[in-house]
Amino acid sequence: METKVIQTDRQQSRILLGEKISNLKNYLPTDKKVVVITDDNLYRHYHAAFDQFPIIRIGQGETNKNMDTMAFIMSQLIEMGVDRSCFVLGIGGGIVTDVAGFAASIFMRGVKFGFVSTSLLSMVDASVGGKNGVNSGGFKNMIGVFNQPEFVVCDYEMLHTLERDEFISGFAEIIKHGAIKDKDYFEYIEKNADKAIAIDPEVIHELVKKSVYIKASVVEADEKEKGERKKLNFGHTFGHAIEKLTGIHHGEAVAIGMMMAVKASQKFNFISHDEAEKIKKVIELYHLPIGIDIKANDLFSAMTKDKKRDGDSISLILLKGIGSAVIHKMSYKELETLTYDLC
């Protein structure tokens, strides 16, 4: 087990890489009432590990990541009679941790919280870095806060109970980290695809660790996404719109979004044909999709409502070679033309 500490201006967060859910008690406060927030599936598989605490169960899936679920959690917390000294423990994938972190951040103006991250996607991205929130009006993460969890337990054993599509989805964020920040890491991701998909413990540890270190350095530099953190949105401008329009897994949509951003990078002569082909190959090695049949006007319309917009322009993340992302500001008009070209 290894610990990575993320230190922001206001807070410290400990990411416990390879820790076991059975050691959870070592991280929980002994002088506070702990309340668990989890989903029905996680409860079924793992409830024995946290049955001693009061539990709030939410429905599975993106459709439950909304303000109705938030109102339900608030009413449950009030019914339990907990006060602002309580500790909220979110146990689940990205949806549960986003919801639990947001609930803890607004209940009685904020209580402390931690996570057990149970999906690959949440270990390498969603549960790390302090973004908490819910969707609204069909658009992702429209309501939320930046607030760091006290700790995140990443127990790799829990990856074995994930649905295959959900597990594979996590590799999109791993590929993203290599593509935007570290060419050597990208090579490692390429070389170890078979072992990673087979959940080889050493390879999974290396991938989660390296991704968490990359994400930690970005978050420490720019927690509130004023500049550098925008690079973590590589593949997400197109990806969020594709996810909204098709309902496919987040990671699958991000994989397609990354391919679109790579093609855009080629159009601007930022990246060579060979590098673009290499990224495509790695996405395919991880059994992720590289394209989808979608109408350009639907995609463009969904993108202009994304929260990454900035007035009538948008910051698209492109690559100037593998391992080097750039923030490319475009007007809506330019984005519209580009979207029609790419579709």
What is the rounded CA–CA span in Å between residue 154 and residue 121? 11
Query: Does residue 306 bind ligand GLY (CB under 6 A)?
Result: no
CB of 126 to ligand GLY, least distance (A): 7
Rounded to 5 degrees, what are φ and ψ at 135?
-85, 160
CB 162 within 8 A of CB 197: no
Find the part of the chain contacting ligand GLY (CB under 6 A) among 69-77, 101-109, 125-133, 259-267.
125-133
Going by the DSSP 8-state scheme, the letter that residue 289 receives in this structure is: -
Residue 229 in contact with ligand GLY, rule: CB under 6 A: yes
Instruction: State the minimum distance, in angstroms, from the CB of residue 202 to ligand GLY.
Output: 26
The nearer residue to ligand GLY, 91 or 219, going by C-beta atoms, is: 219
Q: Is 90 exposed, middle or buried (0-12, 13-18, 19+ CB in 10 A)?
A: buried
Kindly tell me which of 232 and 288 has the beta carbon lying closer to ligand GLY.
Answer: 232
Determine, following the binding rule CB under 6 A, whether residue 65 of this chain makes contact with ligand GLY. Answer: no
Nearer Cβ to ligand GLY, position 227 or 247?
227
Q: Does 232 bind ligand GLY (CB under 6 A)?
A: yes
CA distances to 84, 114, 316 from 87, in Å: 8, 8, 38
Residues 128-157 that bind ligand GLY (CB under 6 A): 129, 131
- Would you count residue 278 as binding ligand GLY (CB under 6 A)? no
Residue 201: CB minimum distance to ligand GLY, A: 25
Q: What is the DSSP letter of 231?
A: G
The contact pattern for ligand GLY, residues 82-121, with x = CB under 6 A and - = no contact, is: ----------------------------------------
C-alpha to C-alpha distance for 43 and 259, rounded to whole angstroms: 36
**Quick one: which segment of 81-89, 112-120, 123-131, 148-156 binds ligand GLY (CB under 6 A)?**
123-131
Rounded least distance, CB 130 to ligand GLY, Å: 8
Token pair 């923030």 is found at 327
Closer by beta carbon to ligand GLY, 87 or else 146: 146
User: CA angle 148-161-30, nearest 5°?
Assistant: 40
Query: How far apart are alpha carbons 225 and 327 in whole angstroms?
Result: 12
- Taking the least distance from each CB to ligand GLY, the nearer of 125 and 252 is 125
CB of 244 to ligand GLY, least distance (A): 16
Residue with tokens 């087979």: 198
CB of 215 to ligand GLY, least distance (A): 7
| Cα–Cα dist 228/222, whole Å | 6
Alpha helices in the chain (DSSP H): 40-46, 67-80, 94-106, 120-121, 164-181, 183-191, 193-197, 201-221, 236-246, 250-267, 273-285, 296-303, 332-342
The residue nearest ligand GLY at its CB is: 232
- Among the listed ranges 21-29, 124-132, 205-213, 302-310, the one in contact with ligand GLY (CB under 6 A) is 124-132
Judged by the rule CB under 6 A, the positions of this chain that interact with ligand GLY are 125, 129, 131, 229, 232
